[in-house]
Amino acid sequence: MATTFKNFTSADIATTRTLLNEAIPITGTIVSGTYSDLNIQNYSHQLFQSVYDYPYLSSSANHIFDITFGYASGSALSGSTSTANSKKLNIYNQFSQILAGYDTGSIVRKFDQDGNYGAGTTINDAFFLSFARLLVKDEIKKGSFQISIGTGSAIASPFAGGPLTIYDASGVTDYRTNSPAGEYGLLYTNSAGTGDVVGHVYYQAGAVVLTASVFPSTTVMSGTATLNATLSGSTIPTIADSLRRRINNITFNNTTELNSTIYFCRAFSNEFNYSSNPTYLSQSKIVVKDEASDPPLAYITTVGLYSADNELLAVAKLSEPLKKTVDSELTIRTRLDY
């Protein structure tokens, strides 16, 4: 391959940023029915539960999200007689450190219901959903997250009366930026953003915090145990099961941020009309010319991008050779995505 070099000017280089979105539907049948829980993985540490899109022992399975539960130290559910009390406290503290951060006194903040971290209501008892990066990509698109859950009192008919749909209703225009994990939106019980706030969705972290009070206190969550009895008297995997079986649907759009540098490779009329390739000449004659009096010409097949030290960094192949003569000019647009 013959190589001819030309330096870029600032006018030859442009940068762009493109956001690509993909719809992600997670149906309740996958979460709690299709595979008879063979796609649910529990662990000996009993700190969280993982949901897959296929039986998790299969090489074809993809991790979808994790479910766990925790409460704050001031929660009415916390106590020496509560099952896995230290684990639930640690789970809450871990998520609050990452998602809520610290106050001015270096104390871990509790999740604030309206996100203002003033004197408002805090979320002391919460379910946590952590979505796989495979689904979230760079972030959850603002305003796109919805989760439908069953709040029926009977465990056998959780969707009696219809599921409750929770919306990231004001995420596009009213998201919060006071989290160390990035931006987050409030989750409302209606699509207008005027209902009760029942949690947060953290866009870049791909995490959802859902207050346990979204379920009525009389809701039977596990066996014959109502909400508070289940949350205080059961292990985290059992609590995860109780929430999972009440999930009807989860939908959101993910976002992939595509940054591009565009190089306009310009060949003016007096440039790139010759080649240093040994096959370009035969007996000191240009082989691509029919007559000796014809102007020189060359065929461009490849564009290489080099560093300032003439190190080859990237190669772009043209779909077909481009004829270059002294009476023509070419601009080849080369895009580098990252």
Beta bridge partners of 149: 164, 247
Percent of the chain predicted with pLDDT > 90:
79
User: Quick check: 290 pLDDT over 80?
Assistant: no
Give the pLDDT score at 272: 86
55-59, 92-96, 308-312: least confident range: 308-312
For 231, phi then psi, to 5°, come to -70, -30
* CA–CA–CA angle 217, 220, 224 (5° rounding): 125
Joined tokens for residue 154 = 């009977």
Give the pLDDT score at 296: 79
Helix, strand or coil for residue 64?
A: strand
- Residues recorded for the chain: 338
Q: What is the DSSP letter of 310?
A: -
User: Quick check: 25 pLDDT over 90?
Assistant: yes
Helix, strand or coil for residue 224?
A: coil
Give the pLDDT score at 289: 64
Q: What is the DSSP letter of 108?
A: B
- Scanning 15-161, the segments in alpha helix (DSSP H) are 28-32, 85-99, 133-136
Give the pLDDT score at 53: 95
Question: pTM of this prediction?
Answer: 0.84
Spatial separation of the C-alpha atoms in residues 203 and 171, rounded to whole Å:
10
Give the pLDDT score at 283: 65
Joined tokens for residue 229 = 């009895």
CA nearest neighbour of 219 among 123, 122, 149: 149
Helix, strand or coil for residue 128?
A: strand
Work out whether strand 207-211 and strand 125-131 pair parallel, antiparallel, or are unpaired.
antiparallel
The string over 268-302, giving b where at least 16 C-beta atoms fall within 10 Å of a residue's C-beta and e elsewhere, is eeeebbebeeeebeeeeebeeeeeeeeeebbebee
19-28, 94-103, 136-145, 308-317: least confident range: 308-317
Mean pLDDT across the stretch 200-208?
A: 98
Looking only at Cα atoms, what is the longest distance across the chain? 99
What does the DSSP assignment read for 143-183? T--EEEE---SSTT-TTTT-PEEEE-TTTTTS-EEEETTEE
62-71, 152-161, 268-277: least confident range: 268-277
User: Quick check: 2 pLDDT over 90?
Assistant: no
| pLDDT, averaged across the chain | 92
Beta bridge partners of 324: 298
Q: What is the DSSP letter of 109?
A: P
Whether 155 and 162 have beta carbons less than 8 Å apart is answered as: no
Mean pLDDT across the stretch 53-64?
A: 96
CB atoms within 10 A of CB 127: 23
Spatial separation of the C-alpha atoms in residues 302 and 314, rounded to whole Å:
11
CA nearest neighbour of 78 among 67, 94, 89: 89
Q: What is the DSSP letter of 335?
A: E
Give the pLDDT score at 250: 98
Joined tokens for residue 187 = 């989750």
Angle between helices 236-244 and 85-99 (to 10 degrees): 60
23-37, 224-238, 241-255, 275-289: least confident range: 275-289
Beta bridge partners of 247: 149
Mean pLDDT across the stretch 295-322?
A: 90
CA nearest neighbour of 336 among 4, 3, 15, 11: 15
Give the pLDDT score at 299: 86
The amino acid sitting at 218 is T
Work out whether strand 225-226 and strand 247-267 pair parallel, antiparallel, or are unpaired.
unpaired
Q: What distance lies between CA 134 and its chain's CA centroid?
A: 7
Joined tokens for residue 214 = 């979204």
Identify the residue with better confidence: 203 or 103.
203
